[in-house]
Structure 1
Amino acid sequence: SLRNLYRNYLYARQTGLPLIILTIDPYGLLWQILSSVFASFLKQFRWARLINSTWAWEDDDKAATEWGLGKTFVVVSPAQNIIYTSDKTSIECVLGRRKEFVKGAVYEKLNFYGRNVNTVNGKEWDRHRKLTAPCFNERVSGFVWEEAVRQSRAMLTKWIAAPKGKVAGMVDDTRIVALHILDAAGFGVKHDFFGGARNPAPGHKLSHRDSLMMLLKNLITAVVMADHMKTLEIIEWVLSKRLRDVMLAFKEFRMYMDEAVAEERRLGATKPNLISTMVRTADAEAEGAGGKAAVEFTDTEIKGNMFIFNLAGHDTTANTLAYAFALLACNVEIQGWVREEIDEVLKNDKDPVYEEVFPKLKRVMAVMYETLRLYGPAPRIPRSILRPNTPLLLTSPDPNSTSPTTITIPPNTSLTLKMHAMHTSATNYTDPTTWNPKRWILPSSPPLPTSSSLVTEKFKSATITQGYAAWSYGPRICPGMKMAQVEFVGVL
């Protein structure tokens, strides 16, 4: 209503930031429909581009460089105010203070298998962190490396055998590779690249692989259906085939997780996969507390975290690999630069050992960092404030000052962190929209005349202070960051 809009406008004015005033809620259902149906028409308006995350990749940091809004501004609507920022000082402030800037209710939609480390806040997050942190260890990393090498060799065999050496697309194949690695690292289930485990296990209608793939491909549908599953089962006969397939996958994957948890408890020995580690951690906590801690880590929470690991680690890595392959294909000089390192490190080693090889492939890692900088999976990150009048730090407008300024976040205000805009800001990077993995490598000093200089090269640290946070930052930095790096480097 106009009354609510005026109230929020008065709140927004208190910040002293530039304002964009809308009569529609950027997070509301009406806008989601309009921005989808009338996308081609709405794209011509700056206000529409500012609030649509899909167009964030196209606009880079134009709000600051071309549109006169600066790095931080407020979108005012009848429903709420939203502070949008690409200021690295503000983003560091928000991501570094998890108890004040929390994940909002929108994340709760991902709890349909159970509450998990990605969706909860406060002390509950502490509990889930304790459950999940042991999962990402060097034993698991070594297993991920072996599986990444095995799957990528099979994928390469397929590509080389393609007619005239031409591959129509890469995304489907990188999705299969990522899924197979996740299945192996998550559940200890290994698949062949060319066929996978397509036969359902006894008592199942879908294979483990196919049930997970169906869910990941239809995530939004699954999220909507999850809250109404009992009702949908009654009217299943009137649903479309696609909806019935998603329903089946939802139930099948839950059964597979139930069976995996039960099997881990039966075996009693820790294996190098995520679900085994979580079960052992949960059981150890229960035994250490005389059984009382069993409520702390329920099987539902284990399943919730297993699913979120698969969700967070699938398309992200698959798409990063596909982008990297395409970018390398278009940049022959960078291809040669990366190949030089691989030849030097691997030499004639047909079976590279994780502990010996991974730390040396700095240029390969640079390809990943640069690809994520420009083509990251999350162009924007939403956050809510736990209470009104929370202070927010901003970079000082005085170029000679190293101290940040502070504003107070008024009531009924949330935040949107513009990660892609930060990653493409000329303030943070030279030639910010150019894909250049070399920016992450510090050459030997003084330069050496032979390839042995590769040994003395150093990987340039990527930090939030320089405007980089591809895996987020702070206490809630992506727990699977190392696993994703090992997978990417192993495949490439």
Structure 2
Amino acid sequence: MASTPFCKTGMSINKLRLWVTFWDFSDPMSLWKRHRRMFNKNLDDRISRVVWIESQKQAKATIEYLENNSGNETLDGLRKITINVIGKAGYNWEQKWSLTEYDSPAKRATGKEAYFEMLGLATNMILQAAFIPRKIMQLPFMPITLRNMGYHLERAPRYINEILRNEKQSNRTKTSRENNFLSLMLQASEEKLDSEAKSPLTKEEINGNLFVFTTAGFETTANTMGFAVIFLALYPEWQSWIQEEIHNLGTSDLTSEYEKVFPKCKRILALMFETLRLYTPVGHSTRAIFNPTSVAGADGNIYHLTPAVDIYVEQSIIHLDPEIWGSDVNEFCPSRWLDDSGNLIIMAKGHFLPWSGGPRVCPGLRFSQVEFVATFLVLFQNSRCAPLALPGESYEDASVT
């Protein structure tokens, strides 16, 4: 295939404009390279350590709540973990774990508080947020949650500007910067990313990156953790499997030992990978042809592609291909990810794409892996999960897959 790069399609970019009005998309390839350098520079082990500690802190609060409150609130609890971890690692915004719903007006909230209330509402009502005008949302007869979301979405630029202003003022009084994504991006805005960068990050670029970082990282990771818990409830033998690994770690104080403990949690990562294989967060990746390109098809023919052609890479089909995964492709089997020595198997290029692949692989890959492992390490260290039977239903009925 020619070396011409594939780019994001114009359609995808225009969809993004509904949410992020801060970037100049006139040169998509140079834009991507610029922001990719920024993400790679800042989403490093400094952030991973924060994610590790905060994920475990939030997971402990979740377990304490669930042990004392019966009900079907596990999945909501996982979503709270995810948004709170992003708040801490992204904005140095510490939030106590709580299942409080966004059902009352919070019009005095500003800055980080208002921004995260907006994100919580928008991610739960993604279609309404994208397609209903803000003014319509705020009409008196609309549901209170929709009115609140409209209020906050209309003021989102103000919130972000306030967050940036406060962070800059805070940094001026500190001898060292906080290890959070916002602080590191502000540092990037004050210097050139590298010798190829024409200028530092602008305020508009920081705004756009913060929004994408927050929304993309929240929904995908929260859903993956939710599916993983459901799988473990349906197949309790895999709970025992990961707990064996947890109990063999040889320490009860796991919170502060990211560099030591995370590399040993291979079974928990295998659980994550198997969940992502069966329930990929994004159904397909879209790429566009900007220059004439030739590709070889599986049938041996050469196909000549012209500009304005879109390419759809269907991850779900690849992840359920028996030629890649074997005859048990439809079975939930986390151990398929480990070799005989218990080490993680590295799949061939293009066979496992939950974070996409190649130069466009998701920059939050490590972030999501650390969050998942830290959360499940705490949740299943001394606890187990089981299906919750509906009224009139037996446990056996609830456990039927």
With the shorter chain as reference, the TM-score category is: 0.7 to 0.9
Contact persistence 2:47–2:89 (CA under 8 A): yes
Shift of 1:219: 2.6
Shift of 1:371: 0.3
Corresponding residue number in structure 1 for 2:315 = 419
Corresponding residue number in structure 2 for 1:188 = 92
Pick aligned residue for 1:393 from 282, 287, 296: 296
Which runs of 5 or more residues in structure 2 are unaligned? 377-401
Contact persistence 1:471–1:477 (CA under 8 A): yes
CA distance in 2, matches of 1:422, 1:254: 40
Which runs of 5 or more residues in structure 1 are unaligned? 1-92, 398-403, 445-456
* Equivalences for residues 38-187 of structure 1 within 5 A: 99-111=5-17, 112-115=19-22, 121-163=28-70, 167-187=71-91
CA distance in 1, matches of 2:128, 2:182: 26
Corresponding residue number in structure 1 for 2:329 = 432
Q: What SS does structure 2 have at the residue aligned with 1:127?
A: helix
Q: What SS does structure 2 have at the residue aligned with 1:314?
A: helix
CA distance in 2, matches of 1:487, 1:175: 12
Shift of 1:121: 2.1
* Equivalences for residues 239-388 of structure 1 within 5 A: 240-241=142-143, 243-266=146-169, 267-268=171-172, 269-285=176-192, 293-294=199-200, 297-349=201-253, 351-387=255-291
Which amino acid in the other structure matches residue 153 of structure 2?
F
Question: Residues 190 and 383 (structure 1 numbering): CA distance in 2 closer, same or farther, change over 3 Å?
Answer: same
Which amino acid in the other structure matches residue 489 of structure 1?
V
Contact persistence 1:442–1:460 (CA under 8 A): yes
Which amino acid in the other structure matches residue 328 of structure 1?
L
Contact persistence 2:87–2:94 (CA under 8 A): yes
Shift of 1:214: 1.2
Q: What SS does structure 2 have at the residue aligned with 1:284?
A: coil
Shift of 1:491: 0.3
Which amino acid in the other structure matches residue 248 of structure 1?
Y
Question: Residues 212 and 100 (structure 1 numbering): CA distance in 2 closer, same or farther, change over 3 Å?
Answer: closer
Q: Which moved more, 1:130-139 or 1:416-425?
A: 130-139
Shift of 1:174: 1.1
* Equivalences for residues 197-236 of structure 1 within 5 A: 207-225=114-132, 232=135
Shift of 1:380: 1.7
Question: Residues 426 and 293 (structure 1 numbering): CA distance in 2 closer, same or farther, change over 3 Å?
Answer: same
Which amino acid in the other structure matches residue 245 of structure 2?
E
Identity over the aligned pairs, expressed in percent? 26
> CA offsets per residue over residues 1-28 of structure 1, 9 Å max, x none?
xxxxxxxxxxxxxxxxxxxxxxxxxxxx
Q: When the two structures are superposed, what TM-score results if normalisation uses the length of structure 2?
A: 0.81
Contact persistence 1:373–1:420 (CA under 8 A): yes
Which amino acid in the other structure matches residue 340 of structure 2?
P
- Flag as ranges the 4+ runs of structure 1 deviating above 4 A: 115-120, 195-206, 235-239, 286-289
Question: Residues 205 and 432 (structure 1 numbering): CA distance in 2 closer, same or farther, change over 3 Å?
Answer: closer
1:459 matched to 2:344? The reply is yes
Corresponding residue number in structure 2 for 1:481 = 365
Contact persistence 1:463–1:469 (CA under 8 A): no
Shift of 1:148: 0.3
Q: What SS does structure 2 have at the residue aligned with 1:392?
A: strand
CA distance in 1, matches of 2:26, 2:236: 42
Contact persistence 2:289–2:306 (CA under 8 A): no
CA distance in 2, matches of 1:117, 1:432: 43
Shift of 1:257: 1.8
Question: Residues 409 and 356 (structure 1 numbering): CA distance in 2 closer, same or farther, change over 3 Å?
Answer: same
CA distance in 2, matches of 1:197, 1:274: 26
CA distance in 2, matches of 1:345, 1:311: 33
Contact persistence 2:111–2:160 (CA under 8 A): no
Corresponding residue number in structure 2 for 1:51 = none
Structure with greater Cα Rg: 1
